[in-house]
Structure 1
């Protein structure tokens, strides 16, 4: 239910601002970043390194803040597109609609989003003093991707590169979390984290289907717009197969313990998700099951893999 429907008086709305700011970040979706940080910590423990609890907590807070800021500036830069979107599936697609529902002005949204990203910079620099200087380029790369995904002149999501950006951004979360704990860069978290990052990109991918009509009208050339819903519907299975295949390869190469085979079980949810998407790719109102199953597969995979690494450690 949009907050506008609560009919808040101006003074009451002002008092409610903290909760409005929180809801504007789309907090339910921040769970994918929570899982990414926990996965990086679990991998650190699996490798036998001692965890630094306060550094881990700081990493989690800053990663969530960066994700929240990126969500809000996405709403700001997509405000015209979201205004054209009559096929959105709440709460998964079409943005928060806080601007369209007059909960926040466009200016307030911009200040909130960019303010959150700006706060991450000094906090990240402070964390780098106790972790290592390479955290600075890792963090800046993540902030750049969060901005470039939505903001002009790059608007990478509108150029068909959204999935690449999302995969890279969540890989940086896992790599950065690991780096904060061990103090040196390693290819291991990138290899281990790739399937999860791809699955996060799969969430974005399936969410583009209900938004395709509005995206096309606004000139956004996402992969779904470029390929058309019918052809694009095959892409979800490809993402799932690639993530699952990479995961199996890691186990075969000894990069993951045999117990990690259990992390493949949640990916079975992608089978009915893909089937549903193929049947209803051009019918936005019927796509909720495909979206929820893709979310369940992604979160389930990340959680089970994290648990198996902790247990194996």
Structure 2
């Protein structure tokens, strides 16, 4: 696995420090969510893809996801969960380690988060000229969920609501927003298209909580793995996976998605592998890196193939 950030190596590299603090590998989740929405817009055939608007939409999604990641690091530094996390599996869990390893101070981290939030807001204002007030309300809902995921007093990730928040953000709001910017109207089609991906992202966050559970419990973060314990939380992963892969089948059967959307089912072997490893090693967090990798790959593949399936229709 990659090494944690080295403050001495990064001291004269402020841009690299800022980039690493965003946890850039995970930003692919936002890119796939936007891709699903763009695929929905193109598949309708109402108008050709507006490439500059699509690029601006993608940039806004990436800066927002980056802001939420950095903000989460700041709040996890304040409540102590990352500092006390001896079971972390970097780079998957335990935060970016920028604060804990001395590469950024908490104050610098908070300023970076607000800078990224501000950049997202400016991009959103530019997109409003095309999408209108519907995008404003959708954006405000996403901003509230993203901020409230970590920040008190809501701190949704500490109340057993973080998983649902992540699913709504990546699988619903981002596809709907990308489609809205292209077509100028809200569509339930983008929500249906992103539903399976939403469930996949729920499982990704859930699995990442397994190694962090002991430190999170000590810090007062009561997410689902802390509430249920690792052994019982395995069943949530199983149930969510079943729902995720059943979703495109049901939506195709009810004519809400084209048959080609079933391409997303090709990610199933990765999820089965992750589930088998989780079932064996749920109580041994040091062994969970392989199922986490497989779940990340399955999630990205599921969402990407959903978008490809829509474009092939």
Separation in 2 of the partners of 1:254 and 1:132?
Answer: 29
Taking the TM superposition and a 5 Å limit, the aligned residue runs for 1:82-93 are: 82-93=82-93
Taking the TM superposition and a 5 Å limit, the aligned residue runs for 1:108-127 are: 108-127=108-127
Taking the TM superposition and a 5 Å limit, the aligned residue runs for 1:266-277 are: 266-277=267-278
1:17 aligns with 14
Shift of 1:259: 2.1
**Per-residue Cα deviation, 1:42-63 (whole angstroms, up to 9, x for no partner):** 1111111222111111100000
Q: 2:68 pairs with 70, 77, 97, which one?
A: 70
**Per-residue Cα deviation, 1:244-263 (whole angstroms, up to 9, x for no partner):** 11110111112222222221
1:240 aligns with 241
Matched, 1:162 2:162: yes
Q: 2:6 pairs with 1, 4, 13, which one?
A: 4
Taking the TM superposition and a 5 Å limit, the aligned residue runs for 1:130-279 are: 130-170=130-170, 171-279=172-280
Shift of 1:201: 1.4
Separation in 2 of the partners of 1:200 and 1:239?
Answer: 10
Separation in 1 of the partners of 2:225 and 2:4?
Answer: 27
Residue segments in structure 2 that go unaligned for 5+ positions in a row: none
Q: Quick check: 119-128 or 94-103, which moved more?
A: 119-128
Separation in 2 of the partners of 1:286 and 1:168?
Answer: 29
**Per-residue Cα deviation, 1:204-250 (whole angstroms, up to 9, x for no partner):** 00000000000001111010000000101111111111111111011
1:104 aligns with 104
Could you say what secondary structure the match of 2:66 adopts? helix
Separation in 2 of the partners of 1:186 and 1:3?
Answer: 42
Separation in 2 of the partners of 1:118 and 1:267?
Answer: 38
Separation in 2 of the partners of 1:45 and 1:287?
Answer: 39
Scaled by the length of structure 1, what TM-score is found? 0.95
Matched, 1:47 2:44: yes
The answer (yes or no) to whether the contact 2:36–2:193 under 8 Å persists in 1 is no
Scaled by the length of structure 2, what TM-score is found? 0.95
The answer (yes or no) to whether the contact 1:267–1:298 under 8 Å persists in 2 is no
Shift of 1:295: 0.9
Shift of 1:141: 1.1
Shift of 1:191: 1.4
Could you say what secondary structure the match of 2:83 adopts? helix
Q: Which runs of 4+ in 1 moved over 6 A?
A: none
1:94 aligns with 94
Equivalenced residues, count: 307
**Per-residue Cα deviation, 1:138-172 (whole angstroms, up to 9, x for no partner):** 11111111110000011100111011111111110
Shift of 1:103: 0.1
Separation in 1 of the partners of 2:189 and 2:312?
Answer: 18
1:296 aligns with 297
Shift of 1:3: 2.8
